[in-house]
Chains A and B, each alone.
Chain A
Amino acid sequence: MSGDQSGGENDRPETGAFFARDRAWHPPAFAPGYKSSVLRSPQKALLSLDGTLSEITGPVFGHSMLGELDNDLIHNFAKPGESAIGERIIVHGRVLDERGRPVQDALVEFWQANAGGRYRHRKESYLAALDPNFGGCGRAITDGDGHYCFRTVKPGAYPWPNGVNDWRPAHIHFSIFGHGFAQRLITQMYFEGDPMIWKCPIVGAIPDRRAIEQLIAALDWGNTVPMDARAYKFDIVLRGRRSTFFENRPEGN
């Protein structure tokens, strides 16, 4: 797991604590428009703690764990010679920290519904059909520049039992590991121009419009491959670390 994490002299592992999370930027735990948050949100205040070794460290995954098709959802569940049905797209971007530095060796995992909005999950009962050639999961590890990419089909919108007539916008779920357990993040990526974004109670749990806009991937015409696949660009920002101007040492040492 930690096999190829050694960097050169110039990228010594960072050991500073993370910037405090801006919890007015993230959605609050209790967001009554999203009904299932009502009984699943803590009511007491969080206990604040400047990161100790337990929070500033975290697992780092080696590129060797990846299979050849791990970042190709069009083919990683398809029968030989076949492929998933839907709009072919490439999703790519960079994982950066709040200081704008690339996060290399970040594990990025993603999952999604198929082109008709149907998930491959036993608890899913939506009547749209499964695609026999689409599983819906993939993963990638960022390169030295913090870059990741994968190809997939554009997911469809799907209805869910919240309000009487609530539909999720087309979205891809992302899970990201940086270098510290305190950076752990799960989020959702939306698509530029989708009018459903502004009707969704899950999106609407985010209080700041700029934070929502940061979750919307832009159509990336420059990277669109003619006669093959359109591209969307989605950059992800993880928490930054304090610079260790002064090593943190116990008094008296």
Chain B
Amino acid sequence: MAQDLGYLKETASQTAGPYVHIGLTPNFCGIGGVYEADLGASMVNDRTLGQRITVTGRVIDGAGMPLKDALVEIWQADAAGLYNSPSERRGAADPNFAGWGRSPTGADDGMFTFETVKPGRVPFHDGRLMAPHISFWIVARGINIGLHTRMYFPDEAAANAADPLLARIEHRHRAETLVAAGRTPNYVFDIHLQGEKETVFLDI
């Protein structure tokens, strides 16, 4: 026997369930008057620096049907490649850009929408620059633990070709599942949970 390391175990995940919007976007689901606005509904203001972009998409199940009860969150760097986070030690991020957004897919068309800015490049562990990307986190009924993935930009071919994460995808055609469609300033990123077009999900 040796000393006990004394670590705790992480609280186990459970599905967000079909009524996740009650807690996370109450105004969207008709529970007004509790919070002024839904958290993460707005990412930019008039003073936010950088190129404005719109990211839309759907979360699609193994039978090809878009989920209408999912919740999607994104996290990204500002236009200069800095995160608005206490753990960011390289400099101060744009104070007019939180970098985080939340969108339900509860509308009739099952679309999520983010009005944001195009992120700058951020270094990998070894100092190489990663291609511009947005981190995604998806929860819904039927998803037992939140799914992490990343969206890259179709008009950044050279940067994508040198991206350390994309380079690690063994089956090369699957790297395309992380590259959005569309063109500046309107990008479309469909997330396929299962099947032939299955999005690459990350264990981060």
Q: What residues of chain B lie closer than 8 Å to A100, measured between beta carbons?
A: 6-8
Question: In whole angstroms, what is the CA distance A26 to B20 when docked?
Answer: 19
Question: In whole angstroms, what is the CA distance A173 to B39 when docked?
Answer: 17
Interface size class of B (residues with CB under 8 A): 35 or more
A45 to chain B, nearest CB (A): 9
Q: Return the chain A residue nearest B100 by Cβ.
A: A59
Q: What residues of chain B lie closer than 8 Å to A46, measured between beta carbons?
A: 201-203
Binary contact track B1-39/A, C-beta < 8 Å → 1, others 0: 000001111111111111111111010011101111001
Within 8 A of A (CB), among B148-204: 148, 150, 165, 168-169, 174, 193-195, 198-204
Q: What residues of chain B lie closer than 8 Å to A182, measured between beta carbons?
A: 148, 204
Q: What residues of chain B lie closer than 8 Å to A27, measured between beta carbons?
A: 12-14, 144-145
Q: Interface with B: A14-22, A84-92, A221-229, which one?
A: A14-22
A105 to chain B, nearest CB (A): 8
B178 to chain A, nearest CB (A): 10
Question: In whole angstroms, what is the CA distance A57 to B89 when docked?
Answer: 10
Q: Is the CB of A123 within 8 A of B18?
A: yes
B174 to chain A, nearest CB (A): 8
Q: Return the chain B residue nearest A236 by Cβ.
A: B11
Question: In whole angstroms, what is the CA distance A98 to B9 when docked?
Answer: 6
Q: A38-B142, A111-B20 are in contact. List 16 more A-B contacts (CB 8 A).
A: A14-B87, A21-B10, A27-B12, A42-B147, A47-B202, A51-B204, A52-B130, A55-B148, A57-B83, A58-B100, A179-B85, A184-B137, A185-B13, A208-B12, A238-B10, A250-B125
